[in-house]
Chains A and B, each alone.
Chain A
Amino acid sequence: MVTFASRALWALGLLTAVAAITYGWTTNDDSGGTLLAFLAVGAIVLAVAVAFADADRAPWYAPGAPVGYEAPVGGRPSLPAPWPVLGALGLAVLALGAASEGGVVIIAGVVMAVAAGGWALQQWSEHPLYSRRYALRLRERVLIPIGLPFLVLALIAVITISLSRIFLALPENGTRAVALAVAVVVLLSAFAVAASARMARTALLLLIGFAFACLVGAGIAGIAHGERTFEGPTKPVHHAPLPPGINPSITNGGGPPGTTATGQSSQ
């Protein structure tokens, strides 16, 4: 029986192949057609591999192996790992950074470091001897004391930078309106969350995630738009000439009062 994943990949590959031919035929753009054709090949190769893939094999142990080497019966299965996807994203950002700005390379480095760390920790946590009690102790002693301050600082930085990009991109009056709207939304949301005693944890996480994504998206749009033009004063500033003797070091080059910068008497 062909699995759902294989059928989905077959569909993706065939549709992409059709798109490649159609795109190349109608636009004469060979580069787009080439890109789509290679994507189609990749999807079809994966579809074939998934179609022939066996189920996971049970771990094999030598006869008489110590019980401590064997995984406990009924343990939780390996979790799906998001880290390869995050690592691929980091590599793509790295390629973009190499072609654009150095700051993007730093972001790529951070993303790849997070992916590598998370991947290593997940693999470590799936060892048969890794227990829930040990995980709880590790989280309370290491992860929360070290990770939480960094996470909070990063969150504050992202929110502040995103808001500042939005404010710099908008016109002056729009900035005021958005600042007021953000303050009202934050206040009302906090009131709603505090007043709702039975709000589901998932709903709360979705709400926070949506708000965060909107904020970061608006910040990126602000960066793409660029800062607004800041106009200087249109009228010249009138002021009376500086009275002699107020700042002698400037008016006469540090000489005694009543002389010019060349040392001659001003009278």
Chain B
Amino acid sequence: MTAPQLALPSGERRPDPTITVYGAIALAVSLVVLLGTLAAVYVALRAGTHGWLPKALNRDEYFDNTLAVTAFLSVVAGWWGVYGVVKGSRSQAVTALSIVVLMDAAFLNLLTYVVRQSHLSPRQGGYALVWYALVVAIGAVFATGIGVAGITLARVAGGLVSTADPSLAWCAAWYGTFVAVAWFVMYYLVHVVQ
């Protein structure tokens, strides 16, 4: 009886995972600067605009609080993913990163609903214009969050991110934290600074 023929390992060059990590960090920093610019524009327009808040503005905090809870759950799941990778439990890491993708997608879904029911138009004045710019920026941030978590999920599932090299999982967790902080910046501007 002959021994079973094992599949040969791929001869292709294995990619350097640190490139993805540094790419995600550079993306996070560029988004920090973008959010800072929008926050500065919000504060500047608010200081120089008479009748800053539109009269028809719906100030219901229910949906924004739900968005905040969703973002927070995504952060917790991201750090759970790091725990799973570091402890060598691939199933936990895959489950956690899947939840991150799901929560970020749910956030985007609810954000689009908030836009639809706000009845605001960018033409209605400075507040509506900056609010829309912030919503688009936050949507883009969460979309990139789905991308980073998705790449990490695929690499964890494929065994490329493991206890021996968990850097991408750390990166995904930090990036997910940044994504949530981006939402809290907008929350602070809209509901605290007003």
Contact = CB atoms under 8 A, between A and B. Distances in A.
Interface of A: 29-32, 34-35, 37-39, 41-42, 45-46, 49, 53-54, 56-57, 59-66, 69-71, 88
Interface of B: 8-14, 16, 18, 22, 25-26, 28-30, 32-33, 35-37, 39-41, 43-44, 47
Contact of A59 (B13, B33, B35, B43): B13
A66 B11 contact: yes
Contacts of A46: 25-26, 29
Contacts of B14: 59-62
A57 B18 contact: yes
A31 B18 contact: no
Given A31-B40, A65-B11, A69-B12, A88 B30 contact: yes
- Closest CB pairs A-B (n = 4): A38-B36, A65-B11, A31-B44, A35-B40
B13 A69 contact: yes
B32 A41 contact: yes
Contact of A34 (B12, B18, B43): B43
Nearest to B9: A62
Contacts of A39: 33, 36
Contacts of B29: 42, 45-46
Contacts of A32: 40
B30 to A, nearest CB: 7
Per DSSP, are chain B's interface residues mostly helix, strand or loop, or mixed? Answer: helix
A45 B40 contact: no
A57 B28 contact: no
Nearest to B41: A31
28 contacts: A29-B44, A30-B43, A30-B47, A31-B41, A31-B43, A34-B40, A34-B43, A35-B39, A37-B36, A38-B37, A42-B30, A42-B33, A45-B25, A46-B29, A49-B25, A54-B18, A57-B18, A59-B13, A59-B16, A61-B13, A62-B8, A62-B9, A62-B11, A62-B12, A63-B9, A64-B11, A71-B13, A88-B30
A56 B17 CA distance: 10
B32 A38 contact: yes
A42 B11 contact: no
Contacts of A38: 32-33, 35-37, 39-40
A218 to B, nearest CB: 30
A181 to B, nearest CB: 41
A83 to B, nearest CB: 13
A35 B11 CA distance: 49
A35 B9 CA distance: 51
A45 B9 CA distance: 38
Most chain-B CB neighbours within 10 Å: which of A32, A35, A41, A61?
A35
A204 B39 CA distance: 46
Contacts of B33: 38-39, 42
Contacts of B8: 62, 64
B166 to A, nearest CB: 14
A102 B75 CA distance: 40
B10 A62 contact: yes
Most chain-B CB neighbours within 10 Å: which of A30, A41, A64?
A30
